[in-house]
Amino acid sequence: MNSKLWRNVYLGIENLLLHKLRTLLTMLGVVFGVGSVVAMLSVGEGASSQAMEQIKKVGSNNIILKSVKSQKEESTSSTTRSFMSMYGLTYDDHLRIAETFDTVAQAVPVKIVRKEARLGDRSLELRVVGTAPEWFEMLDRPKVAGRVLTRQDIQNQANVAVLTEYGSRRLLATTNTIGNHVRIGSDFFKVVGIVKSEGGSAGNIQMPDERVDAYIPINIARKYYGDIIQRRTAGSRTRERVELHQIIAKVKEIEHVEQTAAGIKAMLERFHEDKDYQISVPLALLKQARETKRTFNIVLGSIAAISLLVGGIGIMNIMLASVTERTREIGIRRAIGAKRKQIINQFIIETVVLSSIGGLVGIGLGITIPKVITHFSGMPTIITQSSILISFSISIGIGIVFGLYPAVRAANVDPIIALRHE
């Protein structure tokens, strides 16, 4: 059986080589179709994977609450030259979330201010983040050197700061990093640790660790910088009173995340007259990203399927022409005892060989295109084994489906009429 199969494969390749240019042109449809499938799936997989990694870094068990200006505050501040707007999350909100919800394991307050940092003749504008030690556990921030904030720092009201890699390089350069003192605003802070810089965004969630972040105890941030931020622009001065810029709540069990987020939302609606907060749930974004990825793959797959359909029609067209050209050969084979089944097998094998070779070339093209895209644009692409297997299976399927009709037509040719064919 195997020897017959390989003999038929050999005959199929031999017949295809008789018309090299025609075979090549026929395969192009399959080549581009399969290449498109592999390339599009790798681009989609890369973009989706990047988005999901960003969301996972924020923590799938976390709920992120952020202070935002309400529409009422926006309209008032835009028409008033000197105005103090009051909005956002409060210390009471933090206490209510931490003490009211049994499903919440930890709730961390975050206060953010912009301050210039100086060390010798070096300066850098930092995003000073006042927070609690649990912040580093909840967001899984990799430590590079030294330590992160501790409970003792909060209790002792210590002037300590944790910098990012980027910030420490810009400020401290070649001097010893850990143990050095940096002036932030008008106060001096001892650098006790460095964490990895991982700026970016996930959906509408701004990653809390930007390149220029400096983390200090929350009580020190409140003591030194207060809750009022003043901004001066040409001809006007605005002041904002914001107690907390973020609250990050970690839920004990992942299945309670969405339910807890709904409870927190209801609680905030009860205590805030205006909608001056925003709730983001990384888990919901993760689900949304997966759903988007699935839709994206379906759309891209449909586009590539059109190319494959055109390639399949080309194969059928050329095989019908081949049947006509080889009518006398078919008649001779039938006359010496060949069965219809054998004629069908012969033509099916030829089309499968044609589409398989096209599929292999297409896979090579599909692997090359994402590498070129990544090299020139920096866009991440991921080629998966499943996309290659699916693409190659589709190319074989095209050979079978579009070769079946020409094969059956060849098998049904009357031997006597076929022998008279010139």
Band of the pLDDT at 199, cuts 50, 70, 90?
low
pLDDT at residue number 84: 74
Band of the pLDDT at 2, cuts 50, 70, 90?
low
Question: DSSP letters along 35-65, please?
Answer: HHHHHHHHHHHHHHHHHHHHHHHH-TTEEEE
pLDDT at residue number 74: 65
Q: Which two tokens stand for residue 210?
A: 């930007």
In whole angstroms, what is the distance from residue 160 CA to residue 184 CA? 11
pLDDT at 396 over 90: no
pLDDT at residue number 15: 76
pLDDT at 287 over 80: no
Mean pLDDT of 376-400: 85
Q: Which residue has the higher pLDDT, 120 or 368?
A: 368
Question: DSSP letters along 155-197, please?
Answer: HTT--EEEEEHHHHHHHHTTS--TT-EEEETTEEEEEEEEE--
In whole angstroms, what is the distance from residue 189 CA to residue 112 CA? 16
In whole angstroms, what is the distance from residue 200 CA to residue 203 CA? 10
Rounded to two decimals, the pTM is 0.64
pLDDT at 385 over 60: yes
Q: What confidence tens digit (pLDDT) does each residue in 74-114 have?
A: 666 655 555 677 888 999 999 999 998 999 999 999 999 98
In whole angstroms, what is the distance from residue 50 CA to residue 46 CA? 6
Q: Which two tokens stand for residue 289?
A: 């990203």
Specify burial of residue 360 (Cβ count, 10 A radius: 0-12, 13-18, 19+).
middle
In whole angstroms, what is the distance from residue 93 CA to residue 87 CA? 12
Residue whose C-alpha is closest to residue 402's, from 326, 330, 348, 363? 348
pLDDT at residue number 198: 66
Beta partners for residue 62, in sequence order = 250
Q: Which secondary structure element, helix H or strand E, spans residue 245, and what is its range? A: none
pLDDT at 314 over 80: yes
Beta partners for residue 278, in sequence order = 66
Q: What confidence tens digit (pLDDT) does each residue in 342-380 have?
A: 888 888 888 888 888 888 998 999 899 889 988 888 888
Q: Mean of the per-residue pLDDT values for the chain?
A: 82
Other Cβ atoms within 10 Å of 253 Cβ, number: 11
Q: Which residue has the higher pLDDT, 265 or 137?
A: 265
pLDDT at residue number 80: 56
Q: Which two tokens stand for residue 110?
A: 């975050």
The two counts, helices (H) then strands (E), for the chain are 14, 15
Query: Contacts from 18-24 at CB under 8 Å and sequence distance 24+?
Result: 22/318, 23/318, 23/354
pLDDT at residue number 174: 56
Beta partners for residue 123, in sequence order = 118
Band of the pLDDT at 130, cuts 50, 70, 90?
very high
Q: Which residue has the higher pLDDT, 329 or 64?
A: 64
Q: What confidence tens digit (pLDDT) does each residue in 16-74 have?
A: 777 788 888 888 888 888 888 888 888 878 877 777 777 777 777 889 999 988 776 66
For strand 213-217 and strand 122-131, is the pairing parallel, antiparallel, or unpaired? parallel
In whole angstroms, what is the distance from residue 270 CA to residue 101 CA? 15
